[in-house]
Structure 1
Amino acid sequence: MTVMNKQKNRDIIRVLAIDIGNSTLSYGFFQSKKLVKTGFFSIVDIRNYIIPKLFNNIIENGANSNSLQVIISSVVPEITKKVIALIKKSDQLISVYVIGQNVCLSVPMKYNRKNIGADRIVNIYGGLKLYRQPFLMIDFGTAITFDYVSKKGVFEGGLIVPGVHLSFNALKNQAALIPDFKQLQAVRSLIGHDTKAALSSGLLNGFGALADGLISRFHSWYGKMTVIGTGGFVTKIKPYVTGFDIIDPLHTIRSLEIIYQNEVSKKEEIL
């Protein structure tokens, strides 16, 4: 490799954006601001110290230089510590930035800042940079959050609803005759002809109707707005919701990269 190529390789900024939720850890790997790889795995795997090879490979892509930057949004402090330990074990020189710890976001809001999850702040920050206001950000994760941002760019507040899989697991654990199956099946009809189909349709159509109903109420209360769907379950619920204007399952990951560019990289350049 020539000296020029070596210098060019060092100048390529690699950003690993990690979103740690209650059920899954999602990640996106960026090179020169371009998203080149994404993935996710279960939080259970982290708790059991089973780290997928893919995750290690991503870290190794930048571990031999100072160019790998890691930015993390997390609602599970215990897992955050384990992930940071893994990264530092790979290379002590890798920079790690955690929302709410060494990266603080200034987002205008009327919500109590002391008890809002980092993921919601990250989503709103990204929404303010990517979309016209007002907007409603709906995140389908372990919980479903509906967060409204006004025309003035102020986070006015939101709603929290138990998520689809949370409801699914609660019913399986409490109802003795529910058959044991792990994944909801896509449904073409409103009604099911066996318990698995009936439960799948009830949850998918039910939560789809819940989303549309709440979207309608937000429109009634606050007028016209852009409705954005994101989160790990948004792709599966998409066929059952009519009120989305934009769907981006990777919105949180993209928002983390935007935060790195705006709140970390630019400030370091100033310093």
Structure 2
Amino acid sequence: MNLILDLGNTYGKIAVCDNKKVVEAATYEIITSREISYFHVRYSSLKGVIISSVVNYSREIIDYLRSLYTTCIELDHSTPIPLENRYLTPDTLGYDRIAAAVGAYTICPGKNVLVIDAGTAITYDIVTAKGEFLGGNISQGIEIRFKSLNKYTSRLPHLERPVETPPLVGSTTKEAIQSGIINGLLFEMDGFIDAISKEYPKLQVVLTGGDAKYFVGKLKNSIFVDPNLNLIGLNRILEHNADREI
């Protein structure tokens, strides 16, 4: 088993992973040695740790992790991954996209996979059956779309996302905004899936991210949903590097 730290813009996750399984995970606004210590004591068989972050974090955290585990990986663009990275600008590739791609190939080995990560941004990335990361597309997430309509127009209000899928034709301005954003996103996702399926046969679609649950059962295409995809991917990257050290 391994310890996984995934630090995002607004919160961080600590998880314990065993191969393709997330044994336990918790989300925190701030991660300190206290939270790490809880998992270290609770799981005495932990072998290594990996940390992925889109924000700066204290070197004290790294020093503490290195004092606990011999194998301690700080994910960056030079970290070896178990995929052939064919992205033309690898130094600009987000760690979350790397982790999700590796996670998708881990749970769907030998298949063409489209990874849709629905979070602050919505990313669409392709991993081939041969284990090649090709890249993909980056689009605005749900919240960004609602905020931008309000920010860049003079009279359209900022609305919260609806609980249910809005009608296709909005009969009020509120419904029209909600329908344009939510149904527009559903059409966007289905459109990407249809187009990429023509290029890559027997495509497996994997949906993850904080807003993944919002689209479950609303897409016309068959998809596999795994909210822990990034954690599984980070664990696989850790194992890949641990094997190289042997």
Structure 1 and Structure 2 fold alike (TM over 0.5) = yes
Question: Which of 103, 107, 111 is matched with 1:126 structurally?
Answer: 103
Call closer, same or farther: CA 1:24–1:168 in 2, change over 3 Å.
farther
Call closer, same or farther: CA 1:85–1:133 in 2, change over 3 Å.
same
Q: 1:149: Cα distance to partner?
A: 2.0
Q: 1:104: Cα distance to partner?
A: 2.5
Number of residues of Structure 1 aligned to a counterpart in Structure 2:
241
Aligned residues of 1:59 and 1:87 also touching (Cα < 8 A): no
Deviations 1:25-75 (A, max 9, x none): 34423479752333445xxx5xxxxx379x94454231597947431223x
1:260 aligns with 2:234: no
Match of 2:134 in 1: 156
Aligned residues of 2:87 and 2:134 also touching (Cα < 8 A): yes
Match of 1:94 in 2: 68
1:28 aligns with 2:7: no
Q: Which runs of 5+ in 1 are unaligned?
A: 1-12, 46-50
Determine which structure has greater relative contact order: mean sequence separation of CA pairs < 8 Å that are 6+ residues apart, divided by chain length.
2
Question: What amino acid maps onto 2:12 in structure 1?
Answer: L
Question: What amino acid maps onto 1:20 in structure 2?
Answer: L
Question: What amino acid maps onto 1:167 in structure 2?
Answer: R
Question: What amino acid maps onto 1:242 in structure 2?
Answer: K
State percent identity of aligned pairs. Answer: 28
Inter-partner Cα distance in structure 2 for 1:263 and 1:109: 16
Q: Which runs of 5+ in 2 are unaligned?
A: none
Inter-partner Cα distance in structure 1 for 2:171 and 2:187: 21
1:37 aligns with 2:16: no
Higher gyration radius (CA) = 1
- TM-score normalised by structure 2 residue count: 0.79
Question: What amino acid maps onto 1:120 in structure 2?
Answer: R
State the secondary structure of the residue aligned to 2:115. Answer: strand
Deviations 1:162-210 (A, max 9, x none): 2222222222222343444444432253344544443333222110110
CA RMSD of aligned residues (A): 3.2
Inter-partner Cα distance in structure 2 for 1:168 and 1:222: 33
More helix as a share of residues: 1
Aligned residues of 2:125 and 2:137 also touching (Cα < 8 A): yes
